Structure 1
Amino acid sequence: MSTREVSDGNEPVIEGIEQLVAPMIGGEKPESDWRIGTEHEKFVYKREDRHAPSYDEPDGIRDILVEMQEYGWQPVEENGNIIALKGADGAISLEPAGQLELSGAPLENLHQTCAETGRHLEQVKTIGERCGVGYLGLGMWPDKTREELPIMPKGRYGIMLKHMPKVGNLGLDMMLRTCTIQVNLDYSSEADMVKKFRVGLALQPLATALFANSPFTEGKPNGYLSYRSHIWSDTDPHRTGMLPFVFEDGFGYERWAEYMLDVPMYFVFRDGKYIDAAGLSFRDFMDGNLSVLPGERPTSSDWWDHLSTAFPEVRLKSFLEMRGADGGPWSRICALPAFWVGLLYDQGALDAAWNLVKDWSMEERERLRNEVPRLALDTKLPGGKGTMQDLGREVLAIAHKGLAARARLNASGDNETGYLETLDEIVSTGKVPAQRLLDAYHGEWGGDVTRVYKYSF
């Protein structure tokens, strides 16, 4: 989740649709300038007893951030607390219960992405050894209750934690007990954005299935393969979901802005402080009628903040965010951007992917999204045309061709297709990561979910 810093205070007030769509128009780039931004979260735990460390305990989250500065990371503070780091490899930030996130730099190819991921994991592992902590790459805390988890000192999180129970039953679980991998990708024009958005939304259930990695809750199987994905279905209906309007004629920047105007607000940031505006209307804000800031009207920074408070399966800001995957280890952190870059960054691949999904109805898309968290690759496709596993074979073949066509080579002369190998294996066997964890739980682990910690970074 983004970390806000104080602006210069001289921004113009937003007055109309031209300024609302400006971030999206400003994101347009020629293909030569398209970049890959990968975000990945991990759970932090104390090796001695596996508890989730608080912010300020000795060798806790704050101390980890302090120690990370030896690698050149620069601190970002809020109310005197270090709550993020900035550096050449992007930004390191804190999720609400201390999950550690790297929001990587915009990079040209997947070789750079995987090198960045490797550097980051090596750094946090080194600091982890010093602080007595380890890291788990899963989509859901396998053994922690909400009450066992700490809260990080970030103002927006206090507002969200208070608001979440009012709009859904699982929003607190989303904030406190989940981790994800995401990739941020560019577009060249409004039409290019629309096609990529539609392909991304339609195929997001496939990504969820391939990366499903959250089968445990509080020490027991929870009946799902991606419980993280299920959580989003009962978090807040005003800001989540599959967005039917994206598939309607006329969808574009203005329609996205209209959607975002109808997403209830969380906060307004003023003078380094978060002001609680949860549930209020950005339209009222534009009219100067926001009750918590009477007479004030929003600036571009307020709009940027608001754009970060919707959580659908794909999100548009000045780039497109693919948001459907559970957290996982290094190989899958590299595989997610490979999957989407292969599909969306080559025109032939993009066209082929769209041809696979363009005839699905909205009801069929919703059904896939709702069934995949339980069934993963066993989910039935529309029209009786096989299963999600069958779709995975077709889509990965397209992604391979897309990456091969890009012909981005490393020093050894390898292209980017190798980063799909872990997904090829999943589709070949039909067994997603969560199913392997469940096999171990019912087998060699003898029902002891703490054995999952052997998979820590």
Structure 2
Amino acid sequence: MTTRTDDSESAPIESRDDLLAVFAGGEKPRDAWRIGTEHEKFVYRCADHRAPSWDEPGGIRDLLNGLTEFGWKPVVEHGNIIALTGADGTISLEPAGQFELSGAPLENLHQTCAEAARHLEQCKTVGDRLGIGFLGVGMWPDKARTDLPIMPKGRYKIMLRYMPTVGNLGLDMMLRTCTIQVNLDYASEADMVKKFRVGLALQPVATALFANSPLTEGKPNGYKSFRSHIWEDTDPDRTGMLPFVFEHGFGYERYCDYMLDVPMYFVYRDGSYIDVAGRSFRDFLDGKLPELPGEKPRLTDWTDHLSTAFPEVRLKSFLEMRGADGGRWGRICALPAFWVGLLYDDQALDAAWDLVKHWTIAEREALRGAVPKQALEAPTPDGRTVRALAGDVLKIAAAGLSRRGFLNAAGDNEGGFLDPLHDVVASDMTPADRLLAKYHGEWGGDVSRIYEEFSF
């Protein structure tokens, strides 16, 4: 989740145009489009697989401090180091200590994969000294909520109180899941709309290909992506497939209205988070928040608020693709390759839109609902399975990456980063299927074996 790295005051919001300007300000010419990859991983004690707290010796605080030897700069909240900034982006903490790199905006996937490799190598260097390991899956396979520490970040205290009032699984989302995401640019409002629609419609395909959360508290949970299922019972006000995105006339105005209707969590003032959970941003615009009587929002309040909606695709001044479970190194590279191949090449974007443009709202929702359990075997609106659809989508993405023409020193284009996904389709085995096969086979039901085989 977003971490503040700048406490400076921003300009007050004077009109609705200021709200819309955040979206319009993201428009960039094609040669300025960049790739921002985010990935989370679970942190555990090598000795006993316990999740370390922030302040214990050799815990999360010491891990963050250790990474400063690589040039990372601390971000401090109320005297606590809670994030790092550097040339490779921002390192931040999810609520229970999941470790996230929000990477820098990069030109191509070769750079993205090199960035991920640097980050993981740095983490392992410090982790080895502290007796800490890093696990690459979509959900804690053996931890109950009560087994997990809470990080000292003010916004998380507010969310932890609010989540149980609006859904049954929001605390699981916060405490027990990890994801891989990619942030992508757009040229214009029309380009944003087309990419948003393709991204939403095909998000279940990404969820299936990356499904990697079939175990809960040491046993199979009946899902291939339990992390994806969690979002179905987290908070209906701020999650889902956003049917209005496919309506005629959708654009910045309509997304702005959606965000104005999403209940607030907090307002950040003078280094602290003020709990306004459930309040209306519309009331804030009118100076009618009971907690801040007469005060109106600043631009940073709006950008903070934009980070508190969790649909399958999210708009800020870029588009976030949010449907994938966490995984190991190759999948960190594969997720941005999948979406860059589809969305950053006009021919690929047109071909992807042709696959999904006739789907109805009901068909899109049915696919989204089926994928967490069935993954590749989920039925698609055209009467096939996700596996068959994924094969077609990967061909489009590979062609898009080839046409981009970004080569590494060996002369390879970016298409090789899709290889883990081609393997999923060819083998008909998601990461979750491979985990379950080991659990029922050579592991003999001993989920602790996951730490030997699925760590970074």
Question: TM-score by structure 1 length?
Answer: 0.99
Q: 2: distance between equivalents of 1:317 and 1:291? A: 27
Gaps of 5+ in 1: none
Residue aligning to 2:438: 440
What is the CA distance between 1:6 and its match in structure 2? 4.7
What is the CA distance between 1:283 and its match in structure 2? 0.2
1:40 aligns with 2:35: no
1:207 aligns with 2:209: no
What is the CA distance between 1:16 and its match in structure 2? 2.1
1:453 aligns with 2:428: no
Residue aligning to 1:424: 422
What is the CA distance between 1:284 and its match in structure 2? 0.2
Residue by residue over 1:377-414, the C-alpha shift from the partner in whole angstroms, topping out at 9 and shown as x without a partner, is 00011142x10000011000000100000000111111
Task: Give the counterpart letter for 2:424 in structure 1.
Answer: I
1:7 aligns with 2:7: yes
Residue aligning to 1:74: 73
What is the CA distance between 1:13 and its match in structure 2? 1.9
Task: Give the counterpart letter for 2:387 in structure 1.
Answer: Q
Q: 1: distance between equivalents of 2:213 and 2:7? A: 38
Residue aligning to 1:85: 84
Q: 1: distance between equivalents of 2:57 and 2:5? A: 27
Residue aligning to 2:392: 394
Task: Give the counterpart letter for 2:394 in structure 1.
Answer: L
Task: Give the counterpart letter for 1:411 in structure 2.
Answer: A
Q: 2: distance between equivalents of 1:100 and 1:383? A: 39
Q: SS at 2:83's partner residue?
A: strand
Runs of 4+ in structure 1 deviating by more than 2 angstroms, as ranges, are 5-9
Q: 1: distance between equivalents of 2:392 and 2:100? A: 32
Q: SS at 1:38's partner residue?
A: strand
Q: 2: distance between equivalents of 1:292 and 1:369? A: 38
1:284 aligns with 2:280: no
Residue aligning to 1:353: 352
Q: 1: distance between equivalents of 2:59 and 2:52? A: 5
Q: 2: distance between equivalents of 1:369 and 1:383? A: 14
Aligned 1:51-200 pairs, distance under 5 A: 51-200=50-199
**8 Å Cα contact 2:7/2:271 also seen in 1:** no
Give the aligned CA root-mean-square deviation in angstroms: 0.6
Q: 2: distance between equivalents of 1:311 and 1:254? A: 19
What is the CA distance between 1:12 and its match in structure 2? 2.8
What is the CA distance between 1:430 and its match in structure 2? 1.2
What is the CA distance between 1:8 and its match in structure 2? 2.7
**8 Å Cα contact 1:206/1:388 also seen in 2:** yes
What is the CA distance between 1:4 and its match in structure 2? 1.5
Q: 1: distance between equivalents of 2:364 and 2:129? A: 47
Q: 1: distance between equivalents of 2:124 and 2:135? A: 11
Residue by residue over 1:59-79, the C-alpha shift from the partner in whole angstroms, topping out at 9 and shown as x without a partner, is 000000000000000000000
1:260 aligns with 2:259: yes
Aligned 1:306-317 pairs, distance under 5 A: 306-317=305-316
**8 Å Cα contact 1:6/1:272 also seen in 2:** no
**8 Å Cα contact 2:109/2:336 also seen in 1:** yes
**8 Å Cα contact 1:6/1:271 also seen in 2:** no
**8 Å Cα contact 2:265/2:279 also seen in 1:** yes
Out of 401, 404, 410, the position equivalent to 2:402 is 404
Q: 1: distance between equivalents of 2:301 and 2:226? A: 32
Q: SS at 1:53's partner residue?
A: coil
Q: 1: distance between equivalents of 2:106 and 2:6? A: 26
Q: SS at 1:128's partner residue?
A: helix
What is the CA distance between 1:15 and its match in structure 2? 2.8
Q: 2: distance between equivalents of 1:102 and 1:233? A: 25
What is the CA distance between 1:320 and its match in structure 2? 0.2
Q: SS at 1:268's partner residue?
A: strand
Number of corresponding residues: 455
Gaps of 5+ in 2: none
Residue by residue over 1:143-183, the C-alpha shift from the partner in whole angstroms, topping out at 9 and shown as x without a partner, is 00000000000000000000000000000000000000000
